[in-house]
């Protein structure tokens, strides 16, 4: 059974650095074709993809946020960590992690965590 769970601070102040952890079970990030992505959703708004880390340690970042994001994995702990620097109130959102399967002619986000709401306020 595949599960993912996000954890991190619920409240932050502007300029702080956000660290989010995605703890997962039911799969291994050493398996070829498996990846984990981070996605966020501001209240009442659309989904925004942030970053992805692959089984082979490939890393990809949103063009608009790449200077602020770092993604890493700890395969022994089954965890993926996302850091975002210089947080702003506009970064207030629910942050999700999702398992990604990269197939020969598709790529899908098939399992998602329940999300964690991060509020940025002074």
Partner 1 sequence: DIQMTQSPSSLSASVGDRVTISCRASQTINNYLNWYQQKPGSAPKLLIYAASSLQSGVPSRFSGSGSGTDFTLTISSLQPEDFATYYCQQTYSNFATFGQGTKVDVK
* 73 binds partner 1 per the rule CB under 8 A: no
Distance from the first to the final alpha carbon of the chain: 40
Angle at 111 between CA 11 and CA 33, to 5 degrees: 115
Which stretch in 8-16, 17-25, 73-81, 110-118 sits in contact with partner 1 by CB under 8 A?
A: 110-118
* 109 binds partner 1 per the rule CB under 8 A: yes
Instruction: With residue 95 as reference, give the H or E element that holds it.
Output: strand 93-102
- Closest approach of Cβ 19 to partner 1, in Å? 21
What whole-number distance in Å separates Cα of residue 120 and Cα of residue 122? 7
Closer residue to partner 1 (CB): 17 or 114:
114
- Closest approach of Cβ 29 to partner 1, in Å? 17
Q: Do the strands 69-74 and 93-102 form a parallel or antiparallel pair, or are they unpaired?
A: unpaired
Residues near partner 1 (CB under 8 A) are 37, 39, 46-49, 52, 60-64, 96, 98, 105-110, 112-115
């Amino acid at each position: 059974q595949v599960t993912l769970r996000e954890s991190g601070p619920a409240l932050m102040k502007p300029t702080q650095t956000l660290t989010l952890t995605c703890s997962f079970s039911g799969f291994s990030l050493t398996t070829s074709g498996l990846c984990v992505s981070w996605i966020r959703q501001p209240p009442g708004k659309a989904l925004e993809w942030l970053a992805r880390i692959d089984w082979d340690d490939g890393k990809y970042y949103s063009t608009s946020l790449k200077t602020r994001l770092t993604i890493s994995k700890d395969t022994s702990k089954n965890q993926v960590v996302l850091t975002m620097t210089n947080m702003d109130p506009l970064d207030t959102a629910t942050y999700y992690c999702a398992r990604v399967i990269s197939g020969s002619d598709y790529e899908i986000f098939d399992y998602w965590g329940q999300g964690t709401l991060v509020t940025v306020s002074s």
